[in-house]
Structure 1
Amino acid sequence: MAITLEEANRIVEGALAQAAEFDIKISAAVVDGGGRLIAMQRMDGAIWASAYGCQGKAVASAAFGRSSGEMQDRATQPTPAGINAASGGEMIMGQGAVPIIRNGVIEGACGVGGGSSQQDEDCAKAGVAKL
């Protein structure tokens, strides 16, 4: 089953709600299992780079089926770096995204940018918890 737009928007809203509790300004994105954007929002006052960061982290999380932070230490190893290069360099293997897995299938990921790395991941987790 693919993530619907309604589900993606619910995830993004959950991430933004967590950011509001943290009193931070973020961008949040949801991508499908192939790393293609379904939904994205940038809060008023969020840095412009967060729009790129949230998507890049989400793509990495969907590609590898784990949190983007788990890939951080391996980002420069030949295989992950080669996959990133072959896919156009769109992945960001830094903390802030979590995969969306249902019934053992990677359906996509939610990525967040704009807070600290831990805040970003916490917001992404809060978003995915809305499914």
Structure 2
Amino acid sequence: MNIQLEDAQAAMKAAIDRARALDIEICVAVMDGGGRLVTFARMDQSNWASIFGSQGKAATSAATRCKSGVIPPESVVMSRIREMEGNNLIYAKGAVPLFRDGMLIGAIGVGGASADLDEACAGAGAAAIGCTTSG
């Protein structure tokens, strides 16, 4: 089971709404359970580099089934996985997996603010569609 477009867009909107409430500008990527992009948005004044950060964190979360910030960046195993995957994974706080009925359906990643604010926005996206962030 993978996230459907309607849910992905609703999660993205909730993350953006949280960013607006926090007065920050972000990029948001929602991936399916296989780490492939379903939907993406960049707020008007967000940093262009956050395009890649949000997607890399979301892919990491989908691949590991956990929050992107809990992966130690110096892990030899995870470094090799990132290399084999094409160097697109980012082991930094700001993405959460999306579980429904105990099954991974995707992940949402945010970039553009502090690590804690990015993760708060991602969490808002998960909550908006009734997903938990642990299986």
| Whole-angstrom CA distance in 2 between matches of 1:37 and 1:124 | 15
| Whole-angstrom CA distance in 2 between matches of 1:77 and 1:98 | 19
Give the unaligned 5+ runs of structure 1. Answer: none
Corresponding pairs, count: 129
- The within-5 A match list for 1:9-24 is 9-24=9-24
Corresponding residue for residue 68 of structure 1: 68
Corresponding residue for residue 81 of structure 2: 83
Question: Normalized against structure 2, the TM-score is what?
Answer: 0.93
Corresponding residue for residue 95 of structure 1: 93
Cα deviation digits, residues 47-101 of structure 1 (max 9, x gap): 1011110000000011001100111xx2221111111111001000000000001
- Tell whether the 8 Å contact from 2:58 to 2:68 is kept in structure 1 after alignment: yes
3-state secondary structure, aligned to 2:128: coil
Corresponding residue for residue 6 of structure 1: 6
2:131 equivalent to 1:126: no
Give the unaligned 5+ runs of structure 2. Answer: 130-135
| Whole-angstrom CA distance in 2 between matches of 1:77 and 1:46 | 30
Question: Normalized against structure 1, the TM-score is what?
Answer: 0.96
RMSD: 0.7
The percentage of aligned residue pairs carrying the same residue is 44
* CA-CA distance at 1:14 after TM superposition: 0.4
One-letter amino acid matched to 2:41: Q
| Whole-angstrom CA distance in 2 between matches of 1:26 and 1:101 | 23
3-state secondary structure, aligned to 1:60: helix
Following TM superposition, the consecutive aligned residue runs of length 4 or more in structure 1 with deviations greater than 2 angstroms are: none
- Tell whether the 8 Å contact from 2:30 to 2:38 is kept in structure 1 after alignment: yes
3-state secondary structure, aligned to 1:112: strand
